[in-house]
Amino acid sequence: MSFQTKRAVGQVYSGMFSRSLTALPTGLLVAYLAAHPAGVAHATPSDDDGTGQCTFILSQPKVIQVSGLSLVSATMRPGPCTIHATPNLSVVCLSAAGSGTQGECASKNGQDPAEVRYPYQPGTTYVVRGQGCASTFVPPYTLCQDFGPTQIAL
């Protein structure tokens, strides 16, 4: 009976030893990562030249007809990304120059374009501006770019 007890104790030590050997590399890896965190905290393209971004296309304002009304329309559309990111927000704003107001803005989540419409007044200069945002897989997780303002007389 004492022999079986020793054997059982030996099996416990044997199991503990193999678990310790398995845990050792994991513990060392955690300690290494804590002491040497990843150095890159910004989104860059896969070749890491630092010039990557997501493109967005801000259209020039143009006059359109909707149900007999003349309106000025502008869009912000996501384009391709040269970084590991996905466009997640497009915002476009349109106003009359000198009106002192923000005008009208529209936004769209995801890959869909945002379109804004504003009342048309012949001879008016319109101001368009936009913002495009993309989600990344590394901090800062959301990258946004501002576009414009651009003015055009219609």
pLDDT of residue 9: 40
What contacts 47, CB < 8 A, 6 or more positions away?
Answer: none
3-state SS class at 43: coil
Nearest 5°: the CA angle 133, 52, 40 is 95
For the stretch 19-33, what's the b/e string if a residue is b when 16 or more beta carbons lie within 10 angstroms of its beta carbon? eeeeeeeeeeeeeee
pLDDT of residue 140: 81
Residue 90 and residue 96: Cα distance in Å, rounded? 21
Residue 68 and residue 150: Cα distance in Å, rounded? 27
0.85 exceeded by pTM: no
pLDDT of residue 51: 56
Fold of 54-153: Immunoglobulin-like (2.60.40)
Q: What is the mean pLDDT of each run of 10 residues along the chain (154 residues)?
A: 40 42 38 32 35 87 95 96 92 93 93 95 96 90 93 96
With tokens 């495009």, the residue in question is 132
The residue count for the chain? 154
